[in-house]
Amino acid sequence: MSNPRPSHLAQPLRSKRLWLPHKALSIYMWLLWLLLVNEISAGHVLLGGFLAWLIPYLTQSFWPEEMVLRKPGVAGRFILLVLWDIVVANAILAVRILGPTRKLQPAFIEVPLDIKQDFAITLLASTISLTPGTVSADLSEDRSALLVHVLHVDDADTTVSAMKARYEAPLKEIFEC
Amino acid sequence: MLIEIIVSVAVLIGASFALIGSIGLVRLPDFYLRLHGPAKATTLGVGGVLIGSMIYFSASEQSVSLHELLVAMFLFITAPVSAHIVAKAALHIRLPCIERTKGKPWQSGES
Amino acid sequence: PATSLALLLSYLPRIFAGETVYFHQPWLTLLGMDLSLRLDGLSFMFALLITGIGLLVVLYARYYLSKNDSLGRLYALLQVFMMAMLGIVMSDNILLMVVFWELTSLSSFLLISYWSGKTEARKGARMALTVTGAGGLALLAGALVIGNIVGSYNFGDILAAGDLIRAHDLYPLALALILLGAFTKSAQFPFHFWLPHAMSAPTPVSAYLHSATMVKAGVFLLARMYPALAGTDLWFYSVSSVGLATLVYAAYTAMFKHDLKGLLAFSTISHLGLITLLFGLNSPLAAVAAIFHIINHATFKASLFMAAGAIDHETGTRDMLRINGMWKYMPITATVAMVAAAAMAGVPLLNGFLSKEMFFAETLGLEAAPQITWLVPILATLAGVFAVAYSYRFIHDVFFNGEPVDLPKFPPHEPPLYMIVPMAILVILCVLVGIWPNVTVAPFLHAASLAVLGSSLPEYKIALWHGINLPLLMSFIALAGGLLLYYQRKGLFAFYERRFRSDEKIVFEARVQRSVRISQSITKRLENGSLQRYFGLFVAAAVIGVGVELWPLASFTGPLAASSVDFISVLAALVLIVSAIGTVLLHHNRFAALLLLSVVGLVVALIFVRFSAPDLALTQLSVEIVTIVLLMLALYFLPQITPNESNPLRVGRDVVLAGAAGSGIGLMAWAVLTRPYDTIADYYLANSVSGGGGTNVVNVILVDFRGFDTLGEITVLLIAAVAIYAMIYKLQLPLANADGTGRVWSTDPYPPILMVLARILFPLALMVSFYVFLRGHNLPGGGFIAGLITSVALILQYVASGNGWVQQRLNWNYRSVAAGGVLLATVTGLASWLFGYPLLTSTFTYLNWPVVGKFEIASAMAFDTGVYITVVGATLVILSNLGKLAQTTYADALPVTSPAKPEEAT
Amino acid sequence: MLTTAVVIAMGMVGIAIALNLLRLVIGPSLPDRILALDTMYVNAIALLILFGIYQGADVYFEAALLIAVMGFVGTVALSKYLLRGDIIE
Amino acid sequence: MEALIAIVIAVMSSCGIYLMLRGRTFPVIVGLTLFSYAVNVFIFVMGRLHTDAPAVIAEGASYADPLPQALVLTAIVISFAMTAFLLVLALRARAELGNDHVDGHDAEDVKSP
Amino acid sequence: MSHLIILPVLLPLLTGVLLLLLPRKRRLLIHTVSLASAALLMVFTVQLLLRANGIGYEVYALGNWAPPFGIVLVLDKLSALMLALTSTLAFFSLLYTAAETGQRSGQTLHALSHFLLLGVNGAFLTGDIFNLFVFFEILLLSSYSLLLQGGGPARAKAGLHYVVLNLAGSGMFLIAVAILYGLTGTLNLADMAQRVTQVSAADAPLVAAAAVLLLLVFGLKGAVMPLYFWLPRAYASATAPVAALFAIMTKVGVYAIIRVYSLVFGDEAGELAGVALPWLWPLALLTIVFSVIGVLAARELRIQIAYLVIVSVGTLLAGVALNSEAALSATLYYLLHSTWICAALFLLADQIVRQRGSSEDRIASGPALRQGILLGSLFLVAAVSIVGLPPLSGFIGKILLLQAATGTQAVWLWSIILVASLAVLTALSRSGSTIFWRTTSETLDNAPAAGRFCLTAIFGLLALGVALVIFGDTVLEYTGALAQQIMQPQGYIDAVLGHTVKELPHE
Ligand code: NA
Ligand code: NA
């Protein structure tokens, strides 16, 4: 048994920054706090603000790179698209699950990846899993392709290109251009 | 009353999806197929229930109750990853898929 | 000893005046045992023997021992013994006497085993200790019975209460126990066998302990208790029959011993039997004779032992078959020994003759049980014959009888002067007493007899010549018969060899060995090293115990009405039952069992929710996951499959046992649930807000009302962390490089998608845990749950990104973190001392800040922070170290040249 | 009406959980069982939320949140066990 | 409902005790965990069964008995610590004894499952 | 207010924590802190003993919550005596630990020992049954870990058995406590004692079942037939100071039995009075019988000593089962004696093992001991004490117990105890003479001589035993008063339930 040298260990540790190391995260944290306490009062707004500073500060070394949302508009549209697809996906799925299973034509298909960022890949893989009839089952070790299991496929190539166009492209736009 | 109806519909739809997901889990012929039910249907089902709850508590307590969103969000983030990692495990131990499956899974460790 | 002797002699006049001297020091009053001593005639006589002969023995031993032997040790032990022996004779408290009694057994044990390298010595010593120790225990019991009857342990009271004792129901028991003590100590048949084997002791010891003094403790006891116990038929039959049997049997056996000291030992036993017999006769004169013989025997036997020691010392052997014709080599010793032996034989003009005469006279004067009493004088004479025979043998076979046969040391010489002097002194005493008894021994005897017999002292006369009478005739029969017998010895020896080959030592050793073996087999059967057995017994004991107690219960169902059941609850219960049973059925597949166990845990959490315990649900959920993770961490190092090794019988037994125990628990739950109760809980509900400052009563109980429990509980966590850390340290485990089916592990330890998500979740989880912590006092949550959430979030990082990665970022010493948490909680509790309140007294107050508004701060929160920190620290010590375990073993398991040491984080 | 709806919904979720258990018990593979357990956790969240609505109390929300977190961590750990044996390395 | 709970407790304890009577460390630990679940539920229900009455002080509500709940919390934590300890001890025993039998020896009549 | 009563709990806790926070390499510092704390603990407990001798009871309400609602610590003569016993034992055992750990810092060992003390002391002081459980767990977990110190297969196996059984025992403890709460509605022992009197005849069997379950749990801790089988291997495989410290562990079980069954199920408990006695008596006698058989059977000295521990437990419980003031007084005297002497024996056995090389403590011929005379003499003293030969403490304890028995009980007790004494005498003379005298050759070259501190520890413990003889009357006076206090539990109940707390400012 050989153990590959995990590349992630080589990631440089960033020196600690005191002031808002992750601005996006901080906003996210602040909103989260208000969601959690389920009330908006002056006290909680302040406390949330404090935590929005404290937690990113404490956990910054766990975040290898700072995420920057390049195109909030695209991101918003992408989220709506995914939500819609989830609903559709489930309707289709329900039919397939309850219908005759013998007619299903499952398949493993390989989706070559253009995006390289782990975060973006994760988003893509998750999206694929949540949407119609597909579950991302594996990621190649060099992060060049995603193995997707499809519940029912008529034409594999079409499915692949559809996925790439519908989900990968916007993600690429959001994170990498 | 309207709110009651909305909540009722939401929870019923949600529960139905949860049930459907679990039916899929029992009914579908191989592991990879069964994976689809929980990954999507069940997650959505719980989402529906959570929306119902959100509306219900917002109405009954006269103030916006959004913290169910947190659970929902959490589920939507984690469910696909759960599915992914279980599938990865299944692929690793070379769990067979039904014969008519097109394409072949990667051999474990291949890229 | 000289000092003791001098001191003793200073009391001489008072004792002769019939006085008793007392010494009293309160000690264990509550036990009824004071340190009180008495010096009456009896004890004085004995004390004189003890110190006098002691002095001589000490002198003798100085020259007897070889250079390699530690004289100091011998002297120290002799000193202890002498002290104990004096204690026996001078105790004024029967319990105190038992104390000294056992001390003599102990010191005898140590003295016999003085040459501890010899197997004989060790075994002899052990045997002596066991037999006399057993007797001592019996004596103790007897003493307690007597104390119970009399109401005092003081001899003064006991001796005065003879009638009370003899009339009591417990008299036979007390008598039996005390006689057991006396007989074992004085080597009476059938407990005599230890004494010959005690002869492996150095000869001075034999002379002192095993002829002159210690063995006399038994007869001393008879003398001491005479006023309290004697005078009944029971006493007569038991004491005299044992004495008679011993007298005859031992005298007979003594003739055939080739070992010098063996001969003397059996002779001693025989003489002790004689004394016992005298005491047993229930006649005052016999008692006087007994006391007289005690003195006489001590003098001649001690000198004989010394002579035997001298011969042994000079020739290197004690075997009479080899020792012959010593007259030529050591005439002085021979003279001395011959006189002593003659005294032993009862030759006139020597002291032995006098007491023997009295003895013979007494055997004739028996009144009780006339149909058998005629036997007594006959047997006594027979024993006399044997005694003469062995005495004569001692003289003839040693000092004459041709030339010695290959002695280890040749030629022998006279021993050093100071070995002869003690012998000589004793022998001179024999002669003096023998010729002028009234001048020498009479006052002592009188005083001693007075102490034994009290005012009813009979008229007696010690004299060389009582005229020609039956006793004199018996003496002469004995002398003549003995000489005759000795000259017929060849045939007799052959007869003896044929008949009596049983060696009591072998029998005794075999018995001890057998009891050890039996014990071992019993122990092995009981304590068979099987946990299943032990645990089965535990469960069975519980089932039986509870079952017996529950038997009288009229009905398990109590008066309370049961609440109604709903569909979901039934369903959940079914899920739980199926998964619990599934866990059992699938337990051979360990991983699957683990999954089913999780289901049980989940449903338990749902039960908590269903019945209004949100805090419990939260805790159960978090603990369960941590437990499952732990189980998996461990399972990695264990076989994946449990072999099927229980036979159906055992399975059946276990099912019954487990089923019974489980049903019992369930039934008791049902019984309690249907009964009303009156609880202190209302107090908590009423005081939680006003006194504890929180609305979540469960949390307030944990951090305030019963904060001490919680302090203990986090200490348990800390200890677990420390303990686990210690156990894992240097643990080496065989590491599976493939799973149960032989498949090599995946090469991708850290799936990127998981890694990304884990990092996203981390701050989220921290936020949640902060939230749960903060609200704990008022709503479900609290430090413990928050701590677990934080831990789980960190565990996720470990799982997703590995030990090395996390350590790079978070290099804490978790053990210190855990300790710090406990410290914080304790110190918070201690703060209340400053205000004069007990530990853990909490306080809280409400602040009203601008903008922020009104909020509460409570000292309980600091305490809860301690809980939080401890939980995080402890959980992570456990998990991260278990995680590292594989790393270390993995690195160790590989060849040194292997490049694969990937996770040595720098 | 809401009560009826919630009770029916709870029934459906309950049946879903029972189905999950069925899959968990029959397997046949370990990933199947893990998947079943994961699904059961998610369904349990639904059940808890429904119970909250039924009782009109939202004290059960945290439990639901915690099940979500713990269920995920559990699934990840179990899967990683199948992948690597050593879940923390 | 009381009967249902009693049955649940009975089943959990029986299963737990049965597994604790097995000869290998892992089932014993699983059994112990199961048994501790049963014990926890047992303590909990000693406060009797209350529906919709969490012990959180509010206006005019009824409350479950909070004391057994607090006890269960303590018991859970302690049994967690103990289980963890036993688990590591099982590993230690495995390393020292070379197998995972509770008595440190492989039974002679091992049949492969 | 006086906080003295909480110090026996607080001091070990803080010491344990502090020891963990000290840097591992500061060996001397660690030893010093540990020993100083143990010495201080002795001072405190002796002070408490003196105080208990003077006053009746002292109650400390933790968190300033009035009993029965909060947890209370209660000082009475029994708890004070047990505390003093523990602290002396601990001091000498830690002294031995410090002397023997050598180059290793012993940080963990010291810390765990103090945690063990925390548990033991807490168990003696607490007046709350659930809190008793918590302290039991503390002391058990510490003991699990202490037992395993040093590693090796024997310890691992013994440890496994010990831990599993005790974990199951803890579960049973909880069930019993839960039932008691479920029926009486309280956890405070004094309060429970009052409420138990009001339990209806219909419910009494349930409470009795819980009481028996508790007895079983305490019996497991105390090593009673048929629950002692785990003990011999466990104690014999523990390192010496740990085994010595463990001498108190079985006594915790005995203590708990005395406390709970005299206070809650004492003579005034109505339907439930004396519920444990019918079980305790036969079990105690059986324990003596079978453990004596074990003593005879032992092939190793430490196993033999471990069985002697069980013999003493059986004897103690027999004394408890006699259920009289005299018997209880005798029992406590015997408890002091047996604890100290067994501990000394374990330490001594360790020195013997060290000087016998590969023969270890097998009762078979082996090399001569380097300090044969010294160790032999010490062994003799200890053996004489434990066998119950005069003039040492065991003899007195034994007589007291025998005196206390009456009627049929006396017949049983006398015969069993006397025969047991004889068997133990035989066994110990056999093992002692074999080990010290049946030596093959010269001493081993590399046999280490016993260190000064090790010997001090052994001497100290034996000296305490001797002191029991010399100051016998004083001790017996105290145990007598103690027994009186225990047999009249109303005083305890009144003291606890009548305890008032200080007003808090914010109320
Ligand atoms: Na690992
Ligand atoms: Na647990």
Tell me if there are at least 3 CB pairs under 8 Å linking chains A and F.
no
The predicted structure's pLDDT at residue C894: 35
Integer CA distances (angstroms), C130 to C133, C182, C507, F389, in order: 5, 14, 14, 12
More confident residue, D17 or C903: D17
Gap from B109 CA to chain D (nearest CA, Å): 11
User: Residue type at C162?
Assistant: G
- Asked if B17 and A94 come within 8 Å (Cβ–Cβ), the reply is yes
**Residue C891, pLDDT above cutoff 60:** no
**Is residue C17 over pLDDT 90?**
no
**Helix, strand, or coil (residue E93):** helix
What mean pLDDT do residues C232-240 have?
Answer: 89
CB-nearest to B50 from D13, D16, D49 is: D49
> In chain E, positions 28-87, which contact chain C (CB-CB < 8 Å)?
29-30, 33-34, 37-38, 40-42, 44-58, 63-67, 69-70, 72-74, 76-78, 80-85, 87
Confidence band of C171 (pLDDT split at 50, 70, 90): very high
Per-residue pLDDT at C853 exceeds 60: yes
- For D40, name the nearest residue in chain C, comparing CA atoms only: C599
| Contact list, A140 vs chain B (CB under 8 Å) | 106, 110-111
Distance from Cα E36 to the centre of ligand 2, integer Å? 6
How far apart, in whole angstroms, are the C-alpha atoms of residue C358 and residue C354? 6
What is the tens place of the pLDDT at every residue in B67-107? 888 888 889 889 999 999 999 999 888 888 888 888 777 75
Whole-angstrom distance, CA of residue C121 vs CA of residue B20:
90
- The owner of tokens 């180059």 is F103
**Residues C647-693 pLDDT 10s:** 899 999 999 999 999 999 999 999 999 999 999 999 999 999 888 88
User: Chain C residues with CB inside 8 Å of E4's CB?
Assistant: 565, 569-570, 573
- Give residue for tokens 């002691």: C54
Instruction: Please tell me which residue, C712 or F443, carries the higher pLDDT value.
Output: C712
Tokens 């079943």 belong to residue = D36
Q: Is the pLDDT of residue F63 over 70?
A: yes
pLDDT, position C299: 86
Comparing C788-802, C842-856, E34-48, the range with the smallest average pLDDT is: C842-856
* pLDDT (mean) for C796-809: 87
| Residue pLDDT, tens place only, A10-46 | 665 666 666 667 777 888 888 888 888 877 788 888 8
Lowest-pLDDT choice from C179-188, F13-22, F437-446: F437-446
Search chain C and give the residue with CA nearest F70: C705
User: What share of chain B in percent tops pLDDT 70?
Assistant: 95
| Digit-coded pLDDT (tens) for C594-617 | 999 999 999 999 999 999 999 999
| Tokens 């995603």 found at | A146
Per CB-CB distance under 8 Å, the chain E contacts of F141 are 81-82, 85
Q: What is the pLDDT of residue C902?
A: 35
Of A155, E96, F175, give the one whose Cα is nearest residue C661: F175
C-chain residues within 8 Å CB-CB of E53? 612
CA distance E62 to chain C (A): 10
| pLDDT number for residue C899 | 33
B88 in C contact zone (CB under 8 Å):
yes
Predicted local distance difference test score (pLDDT) of residue C900: 35
Which ligand ends up closest to the CA of E43? 2
Average pLDDT over residues F226-254: 91
Residues of E in contact with D57 (CB under 8 A): 52, 54
Question: Which of C441, C471, C429, C431 minimizes the C-alpha distance to C350?
Answer: C431
Q: How far is the CA of F311 from the centre of ligand 1 (A)?
A: 46
* Contact check, Cβ <8 Å, F142/C719: yes
Q: Residue C604 and residue E40: Cβ atoms within 8 Å?
A: yes
pLDDT given for residue E110 in this prediction: 40
Q: State the SS3 of F268-329.
A: CCHHHCCCCHHHHHHHHHHHHHHHHHHHHHCCEHHHHHHHHHHHHHHHHHHHHHHCCHHHHH
Ligand number nearest CA of C891 is 1
**Nearest residue in chain C measured CA to CA from A126:** C753
- Verify whether the Cβ–Cβ distance C698 to E33 is below 8 Å: no
Residues contacting A4, CB < 8 A, separation 6+: C747, C748, C749, C902
Q: Is any Cβ of chain E less than 8 angstroms from the Cβ of F141? A: yes
Please say if the pLDDT value at position C856 is more than 60.
Answer: yes
C730/B contact by beta carbon, under 8 A: no
Residue E43, token pair as written in the block: 């303590």
**C-alpha B43 – ligand 1 centre gap (Å):** 31
Q: Which amino acid, residue C174?
A: A
Q: Average pLDDT in the C283-311 region?
A: 86
Residues on chain C touching F477 (C-beta within 8 angstroms):
30
> What DSSP string describes C383-447?
HHHHHHHHHHHHHHHHHSSS---S-SS-S--PPPHHHHHHHHHHHHHHHHHHH-HHHHTHHHHHH
Mean pLDDT of C458-475: 70
Listing DSSP states for C148-216 in one string gives: HHHS--BHHHHHHTHHHHHHSTTHHHHHHHHHHHHHHHTT-TTSTTHHHHGGGS-HHHHHIIIIISTTH
What average pLDDT does the segment C464-483 reach?
Answer: 75
Q: Is 90 exceeded by the pLDDT of residue F188?
A: yes
Q: Is the pLDDT of residue B111 over 50?
A: no
Q: How far is A104 from chain B (nearest CA, A)?
A: 9
Per-residue model confidence as pLDDT tens digits over C739-748: 767 677 777 7
The dihedral region occupied by E36, where left means phi > 0, alpha psi between -120 and 50, and beta the remainder, is: alpha
Largest CA distance in chain F: 79
pLDDT at E89: 94
Q: A73, A72, A84: which is closest to A24 by C-alpha? A: A72
Q: Cα(C445)–Cα(C234) distance, rounded to whole angstroms?
A: 27
pLDDT digits (tens, 9 = 90+) for C251-290: 888 888 888 888 888 989 988 998 998 888 888 888 888 8
End-to-end CA distance of chain F: give it in Å, rounded.
20
Count CA atoms closer than 13 A to F440's CA, side-chain side: 8
Q: Chain D residue with minimal CA distance to E55?
A: D59
pTM of the model as a whole: 0.92
Ligand in closest contact with the CA of C802: 1
pLDDT of residue C466: 65
C177 has pLDDT over 90? yes
Do the chains C and E touch each other, judged by at least 3 C-beta pairs below 8 angstroms? yes
What does the DSSP 8-state code read for residue A71?
-
Mean local confidence (pLDDT), C416-424: 83
Cα–Cα distance, C270 to C482 (Å, whole number): 15
Distance from CA of D57 to the nearest CA of C (A): 11
Residue F501 pLDDT: 86
**Pairs of CB atoms within 8 A across A/B:** 140
Contact E54 D59 (CB under 8 A): yes
Q: Which ligand is nearest to the CA of C604?
A: 2
pLDDT band at E52 (very low <50, low <70, confident <90, very high): confident
Is the CB of residue A39 less than 8 Å away from at least one CB of chain B?
yes
Per-residue model confidence as pLDDT tens digits over A126-151: 988 888 788 888 888 888 889 999 88
User: Which residue of chain B has the CA closest to C760?
Assistant: B77
The alpha carbon of residue B92 is apart from the nearest alpha carbon of chain C, in Å, by: 7
Measured in angstroms, the CA of D51 and the nearest CA of chain E are apart by: 10
Closest CB from D6, D22, D31 relative to B26: D22
In sequence order, the 6+-apart residues with CB closer than 8 A to the CB of C36 are C22, C23, C24, C25, C91, C92, C93, C96, C154
Is D38 close to B82, i.e. CB distance below 8 A? yes
Of the spans C44-58, C88-102, E5-19, which averages the highest pLDDT? E5-19
CA separation (Å) from F53 to C417, F47, F78, F326, F340? 64, 10, 10, 18, 21
Helix, strand, coil abundance in chain A, percent, nearest 5: 60, 10, 30
User: C39-43, C465-469, F120-124: which has the minimum mean pLDDT?
Assistant: C465-469
What is the per-residue pLDDT for C43? 85
Residue numbers in D near C590 (CB within 8 A):
none
- Look up tokens 């408290």; give the residue: C93
**Which residues touch F95 (CB under 8 Å, ≥6 apart)?**
F35, F38, F453, F456, F457, F460
Taking an 8 Å cut-off on Cβ atoms, the answer to whether F181 and E86 are in contact is no
Chain B neighbors of A167, CB-CB under 8 A = none
| Closest ligand to residue C733's CA | 1
Question: Can you spell out the DSSP letters for C648-682?
Answer: HHHHHHHHHHHHHHHHHHHHHHHHHHTS----THH
State which H helix or E strand residue C39 sits in.
strand C33-39
Lowest mean pLDDT among C762-766, C776-780, F50-54, F301-305: C776-780
> Which chain C residues are Cβ-neighbours of E25 within 8 angstroms?
638
Average model confidence (pLDDT) for chain C? 84
Distance D84 CA to ligand 1 centre (A): 10
Report the C-alpha dihedral over residues F159, F164, F168, F169, rounded to 10 degrees.
Answer: -10
pLDDT value of position A52: 87
Residue F284: the pLDDT is 95
Instruction: Provide the pLDDT for residue B110.
Output: 42
Please determine, for residue C898, whether its predicted confidence score (pLDDT) is greater than 80: no
Identity of residue C212:
A
The pLDDT tens digits of the residues spanning A29-88 come to: 888 888 888 777 888 888 888 888 888 888 888 776 666 666 778 888 888 998 888 888
Closest ligand to C-alpha of residue E39 is 2
For residue E82, how far is its CA from the centre of ligand 2 (angstroms)?
9
- Tell me the CA–centroid distance for residue E88 and ligand 1, in Å: 13
Q: How far apart are CA C513 and CA C346, in angstroms?
A: 42
3-state secondary structure of F441: strand
Long-range CB contact pairs, C653-658, < 8 A, 24+: C653/C536, C654/C536, C654/E18, C654/E21, C655/E18, C657/C536, C657/C539, C657/C540, C657/C543, C657/E17, C657/E21, C658/C539, C658/E13, C658/E14, C658/E15, C658/E16, C658/E17, C658/E18, C658/E21
Let me know: does C470 contact C453? Beta carbons within 8 Å: no
Chain E residues with CB inside 8 Å of C658's CB? 13-18, 21
Which tokens hold the place of D73? 């961590």
At residue C697, the pLDDT reads 94
Of B7, B45, B57, the CB nearest to D46: B45
Chains A and E touching, counted as 3 or more CB pairs less than 8 Å apart? no
Tokens of B43: 């997650």
Whole-angstrom distance, CA of residue C10 vs CA of residue C3: 11
Query: pLDDT digits over F69-92, tens only?
Result: 999 999 999 999 999 999 999 999
Residues of C in contact with B81 (CB under 8 A): 753-754, 757
